Structure 1
Amino acid sequence: MKTFKLSKKYTKYLLLVGLFLLFMGLSAMAVIGNWEPISLGLIITGIVAIGIWIVLQGSNDLTSPAQEFWGRRSTQTGTNAAFAMLAFVVILGLINFLGNRYNYRLDLTENNLFTLSPATQQLVRNLNQPVKLWIFDRTQYPQDKELLENYRRQGANFSFEYVDPNSNPGLAKKFGVKDVGEVYLESGEKRKYLQKVKETELLSEQTLTNAIQEIRSDRTAKVYFLQGHGERNLETKEGSLSEAVQTLKDKNFQVETFKLTESKEVPKDANLVVIAAPQQALFADEITALKEYQKRGGSLLVTVDKKTKASELEPILQDWGIKIDDRLVVNASEFQVRSLGPTAALVSSYGNHPITQDFKNRYSFYPDARSIELVKDFKDEKNIKATPLLFTSEQSWAESNLDKIEFNAESDRQGPLILGIALSRSIESATPQPSPTPNQENKSDKPLQETRMVVLGNTDFATDGFFSQQINGDVFLNSISWLSQQDDRLLSISPKEQKNRRLNMTFLQASLLAWLSIIIVPFLGLVIAGYLWWRRR
């Protein structure tokens, strides 16, 4: 009898163990999504334990048959509870399984803040080859990760990965990462730099979708550097632009040099032409060829140095109402670039333009720079849109006598001065371009509607050694990107902003609300409760 009591005492725990194992097995199966040995073993063990408990309940009572055990009210109640729990576990497991297999999200926000636009959804679903986003940062901002998860749910060919550049320097070097937070898009052999993410500048659907649209296109912007007049060399040597050129290639630009005296015209596949600090004047036929290139929508980037004569560039710039000052800019502020002295102009003020819109108060510097002047009212007469890009401080001036650096109101020009300017002009008759050859994949399918030009009063800022300092390289790269005129392929995606639902209250209204919620309403509740207690006492 003692053995029977002991066995009956512990058999009830067998049921609990069996139900627990069964629940764990079904939960593991629901999370994993398929039948794994672990989840299957837990389920089988739990069923066996429950079966043993049932058998022992019928055989432990030697004085009563099994029918008497199952006829008990307690047995029936326990069995019903067990089946109800089992049904609950099965239903919960099925819900988790279906939720994991068939993902569905419902965005109830007013502006669908967490839903990608139809254009983005279609673009990601139709990707015919893998596209991967690389974020070189240890910090994973929740807003960015939620946005990227939305992209990944739309198509299997989109993926993203966070990489710590300090832990994986080889991969960071492969992409040319210079700072933590840089974001790159990769598809096959193509790589495209997007932006640098930080808490105040997160990823946006507009930026990411248009980057995917660009990188999946067969078009590649082609940059031609004019040579033959003492322009800056592109090969590695002192004062060359080799670092800038290599960065352009890393950003998926094609870079070539050409001489107008040999080609007679600007190549048809040129997205833009760079004239980097010529030391001699261009021939008349070269000037004509460049003007013809601009008439059909071509873009120019013109930079000068202290040896470039303004008169030699005048035939190109006069049609845009631009003049180059021969005087060098002097920086007389207390903060100067070390080892460069006062003739290195320091800029922290930028114009409102796509080239400089993200610079804010960041620094760039320009050794031996020259200021740029706009002819008064010229841009209005010629329908030219001109936007100054770079402004020096008020503690600067254009110095005419470098032997004695001292401001002279009669011969010098007081700052702030303009060191860079972006110009655009509509094309009166946009004629379709010739059909591209197999080597001209970068041409647009529709004619360009405007011609663009950027004029910078300095070239040294983009040369080897200076290019990677501060945001000098960003000024050069952003100018090239804007001039390449690839924005005709960008999708129009309006940024989504959460509507302001704040309730603006006066001090009196806020005080009244605080008294009502903290003191008056709770006090009335206590009074009513006390009155009811006293009535029922």
Structure 2
Amino acid sequence: MKKVSNYKIILKYLFIPGLILTFAGLVPLFITQTQSILYLSLVIVGGIFLFIWLVYLLVTGRSFWQKRSTQTGTNAFISILSLVVILGLINFIAVRYSPRIDLTENQLYTLSPETQEIVENIDKLTKVYVFDKEITPQDEDLLENYQRYNNNFKFELVDPDIKVGLTQQFNVQSLGDVYLEYEDKKQLVQTLIVFNQREPLSEIKLTNAIEKIKKDYIPNVYILQGHGEYSLEPSPEGSLSEATNSLESKGYEVKPLNLIENAGIPDDADVIIVASPKRELFDQEVAALKEYSEQGGNLFLLLDPNADAGLEPILQDWGIQLDNRIIIDGSGSGNVVGLGPTTPFITSYGNHPITEEFANSISFYPISRPVDTVEVENVQATSLLVTNEQMWAESNLESEEVIFDPEEDIPGPFDLGVALTRTININKETINNETKEDNKSEEDNQTEKNNSEKNNNTINDQSDLNKEETENNNNSEQTENNNQSNENNNTIDNQSDLNKEETENNNNSEQTEDNNQSEELENSNNSDSSGNNDTNENEKVENSSNSSNNDQNDNSEKENIESRLVIIGNSTFATDSLFNQQLNGDVFLNSVQWLSNQDEQPLSIRPKQAKDRRLNLSPLQANIITILSLAVFPLLGLIAAGITWWRRR
């Protein structure tokens, strides 16, 4: 009987563990939205307990509900259920809309107002991938902070060893890479592990990456080909495939450029890279690059020693002087890694956006040459790569021992790489005209054809204007004008059929233009006010085609544009075998970023740092504190306790 009564007591109160287990499983399932076996098991067991309890109630009959204990238990059950529901709702709201109060003085754990505005305006899914084994609580808290402001912002920790396909899709180069994905665009935000040291995820870099990737504009980088330069595809002889892939992963579009095949430089070229041509460029190619630079274009020159690319006209404009002597590193750093003295190891960098974060880190350049600059108006040069006093430029490499000769060699320090900017004051109309002329062919026949077509179009336009004028004149004058225009058209057809030389075409076109001009002056004397307006328009057309462009250029709007150039006396550092070594790749990528004007941060967000509130104590002060805390204060406590005991005994 006692066993039966015990079973009844257990069944009577079985609803309590049933409710506890059910809610213990439902709450985390609802909040985390994770199908965990543990959570599901708790819900199932709790449901079984509640089902058994309900069956027990039905079996015991109505007398159970009429008992006073049942009524009391029901009230208690409702109270507990209400309490659990309230606590569950509070926890759900706290997790889903967790309030945060940042009590730090510098608001270290609060996103800047600029970041909040940009994240709130994200209208499409933007996801951050952290390719690492683990993520620090600080970085996770920062990403969760972003996610609180917009549900379109997501982040994911990716183990490169597990999700190999996703890692290859993003072309991850090292552990700790953080990538941003927006629609079909991918962009490297930051590398968290640099030289075996972990850096925190930067709000500045992440916010600027979000702002940059949302823009529709994609910078275009062209790499010159056709003169023995390094290929963009992997090659046993060395290529720039690693550099190309890294640029593409940063959001650039990289294309090869052959100036002979393209007959000019594309209008969308943001940066042109010339990576150590083995053969000299044609004069037309050099002229095209020079004109591109003069119109605000950006050049990245990687020129090895004893490689004459024929770029002297461009170098002279920028005040650049190259030396064919080889840089020798007398410190022996190259011997340590088996590269020899002809590989200078650079640890000194100039104060420039390209190298501002390099500090004393290493980059190296096998078989390189010095780069010198002279003062040129409107050109500002800044050193990038600076050798030390133990390096020199050697002129005689045939001797068995490489020794510095003060008479023939150049002592260090000197520059191996330089960044230059040039301010150009140029007319907008001049830019448009020169851009149109860039599409002309270098061949003489094609030039003559273009000139003849230009002359034909000009004369046809003038004859159309003459036709509009003569509508307001007498019928006799209208007939004469039509005959004259027909004669002009016949003259043009004869010129194109005979394929005369360019000089003859120009003379005939000038003579035809003079006839039209004299004819327009006669018509203007007999026309009304509307005819005068048409004549003024014709005079403007004539003036623009003749030698009176000086006055028009003086009245046209002018603007200042900036052209940039980076030159390094070595190209090997950017090849596949050395690109990922030390800072070599960073020098290349940062140079392209600066040249393409992508180095400017769209937001001015100051980094937040905790104030250093440490107390700097002298040795005497430290000893006093140690004696007081370890001896004096404990001894006073013991004395006070002893006195109290003595009084109460």
TM-score interval, smaller chain: 0.7 to 0.9
Q: State the match for 1:324 in structure 2.
A: 322
Q: Matched residues in 1 for 2:76 and 2:619: separation?
A: 57
In the alignment, structure 1 residue 22 sits paired with structure 2 residue 19 = yes
In the alignment, structure 1 residue 172 sits paired with structure 2 residue 167 = yes
In the alignment, structure 1 residue 141 sits paired with structure 2 residue 145 = no
Looking at CA atoms only, which structure, 1 or 2, has the larger radius of gyration? 2
8 Å CA contact 1:226, 1:276 repeated in 2: yes
Q: Aligned letter for 2:209?
A: A
Point out the more displaced range, 224-233 or 145-154.
224-233
With over 3 angstroms needed to count, the CA separation of the structure-2 counterparts of 1:532 and 1:49, relative to structure 1, is farther
Q: Matched residues in 1 for 2:56 and 2:620: separation?
A: 71
Q: State the match for 2:105 in structure 1.
A: 110
8 Å CA contact 1:15, 1:50 repeated in 2: no
8 Å CA contact 1:296, 1:430 repeated in 2: no
- In the TM superposition, what is the alpha-carbon distance from 1:206 to its structure 2 partner? 0.6
Q: Deviations over 1:75-98 (max 9, x none)?
A: 98x999887766654443332122
Percent identical residues? 45
Q: Matched residues in 1 for 2:83 and 2:616: separation?
A: 48
8 Å CA contact 2:378, 2:423 repeated in 1: no
Q: State the match for 1:493 in structure 2.
A: 605
8 Å CA contact 2:353, 2:599 repeated in 1: no
Q: Aligned letter for 1:408?
A: D
- In the TM superposition, what is the alpha-carbon distance from 1:394 to its structure 2 partner? 3.8
Point out the more displaced range, 41-50 or 111-120.
41-50
Counting matched residue pairs gives 507
Q: Matched residues in 1 for 2:85 and 2:421: separation?
A: 67
Q: Secondary structure at the match of 1:387?
A: strand
Q: Aligned letter for 1:458?
A: N
With over 3 angstroms needed to count, the CA separation of the structure-2 counterparts of 1:24 and 1:524, relative to structure 1, is farther
Q: Matched residues in 2 for 1:125 and 1:265: separation?
A: 44
Q: Aligned letter for 2:200?
A: L
Alignment of 1:5-44 (within 5 A): 18-33=15-30, 39=43, 42=46
Q: State the match for 2:244 in structure 1.
A: 245
> Comparing both structures, which one devotes a greater share of its residues to helix?
2
In the alignment, structure 1 residue 382 sits paired with structure 2 residue 494 = no
Question: For 1:92, which of 87, 90, 95 is the aligned residue?
Answer: 87
- In the TM superposition, what is the alpha-carbon distance from 1:25 to its structure 2 partner? 2.4
When normalised by structure 1's length, the TM-score is: 0.79
With over 3 angstroms needed to count, the CA separation of the structure-2 counterparts of 1:103 and 1:387, relative to structure 1, is same
- In the TM superposition, what is the alpha-carbon distance from 1:346 to its structure 2 partner? 2.8
Q: Secondary structure at the match of 2:324?
A: strand
Alignment of 1:134-533 (within 5 A): 134-198=129-193, 199-227=197-225, 231-237=229-235, 238-260=237-259, 266-279=265-278, 287=286, 289-309=288-308, 312-336=310-334, 340-375=339-374, 378=375, 382=378, 384=380, 386-404=381-399, 405-428=402-425, 450-488=562-600, 490-525=602-637, 527-528=639-640
5+ residue gaps, structure 1? 437-446
Point out the more displaced range, 418-427 or 33-42.
33-42
With over 3 angstroms needed to count, the CA separation of the structure-2 counterparts of 1:186 and 1:82, relative to structure 1, is closer
- In the TM superposition, what is the alpha-carbon distance from 1:503 to its structure 2 partner? 3.3
5+ residue gaps, structure 2? 34-38, 436-558
Q: CA RMSD in A?
A: 4.0
- In the TM superposition, what is the alpha-carbon distance from 1:475 to its structure 2 partner? 2.1
8 Å CA contact 1:344, 1:367 repeated in 2: yes
Q: Aligned letter for 1:131?
A: T
Q: Aligned letter for 1:391?
A: V
Q: Secondary structure at the match of 2:370?
A: strand
With over 3 angstroms needed to count, the CA separation of the structure-2 counterparts of 1:454 and 1:142, relative to structure 1, is same
8 Å CA contact 1:22, 1:47 repeated in 2: no
- In the TM superposition, what is the alpha-carbon distance from 1:228 to its structure 2 partner? 5.4
With over 3 angstroms needed to count, the CA separation of the structure-2 counterparts of 1:236 and 1:535, relative to structure 1, is closer
Q: Matched residues in 1 for 2:251 and 2:166: separation?
A: 17
8 Å CA contact 2:17, 2:46 repeated in 1: no
Q: Deviations over 1:263-309 (max 9, x none)?
A: 67543211111222245555666555444433443211011112323
- In the TM superposition, what is the alpha-carbon distance from 1:221 to its structure 2 partner? 0.8
With over 3 angstroms needed to count, the CA separation of the structure-2 counterparts of 1:365 and 1:296, relative to structure 1, is same
With over 3 angstroms needed to count, the CA separation of the structure-2 counterparts of 1:526 and 1:313, relative to structure 1, is same
With over 3 angstroms needed to count, the CA separation of the structure-2 counterparts of 1:166 and 1:412, relative to structure 1, is same
With over 3 angstroms needed to count, the CA separation of the structure-2 counterparts of 1:49 and 1:528, relative to structure 1, is farther
- In the TM superposition, what is the alpha-carbon distance from 1:518 to its structure 2 partner? 4.8
Q: Matched residues in 2 for 1:23 and 1:205: separation?
A: 43
Q: Aligned letter for 1:480?
A: V
8 Å CA contact 1:31, 1:100 repeated in 2: no
Q: Matched residues in 2 for 1:468 and 1:532: separation?
A: 74
Q: Matched residues in 2 for 1:51 and 1:107: separation?
A: 53
Q: Matched residues in 2 for 1:43 and 1:522: separation?
A: 59
Q: Matched residues in 2 for 1:474 and 1:292: separation?
A: 29
Q: Deviations over 1:305-356 (max 9, x none)?
A: 123238x433222333321111011233333266754323333433343323
Q: Matched residues in 1 for 2:561 and 2:624: separation?
A: 61
With over 3 angstroms needed to count, the CA separation of the structure-2 counterparts of 1:148 and 1:489, relative to structure 1, is same
Q: Deviations over 1:459-514 (max 9, x none)?
A: 12223433344443332222112211124562222211112233333444444444
When normalised by structure 2's length, the TM-score is: 0.67
With over 3 angstroms needed to count, the CA separation of the structure-2 counterparts of 1:313 and 1:288, relative to structure 1, is closer
Question: For 2:122, which of 115, 120, 127 is the aligned residue?
Answer: 127
Q: Matched residues in 2 for 1:190 and 1:489: separation?
A: 19
8 Å CA contact 1:25, 1:41 repeated in 2: yes
Point out the more displaced range, 128-137 or 364-373.
128-137
Q: Matched residues in 2 for 1:114 and 1:206: separation?
A: 14
With over 3 angstroms needed to count, the CA separation of the structure-2 counterparts of 1:17 and 1:228, relative to structure 1, is same
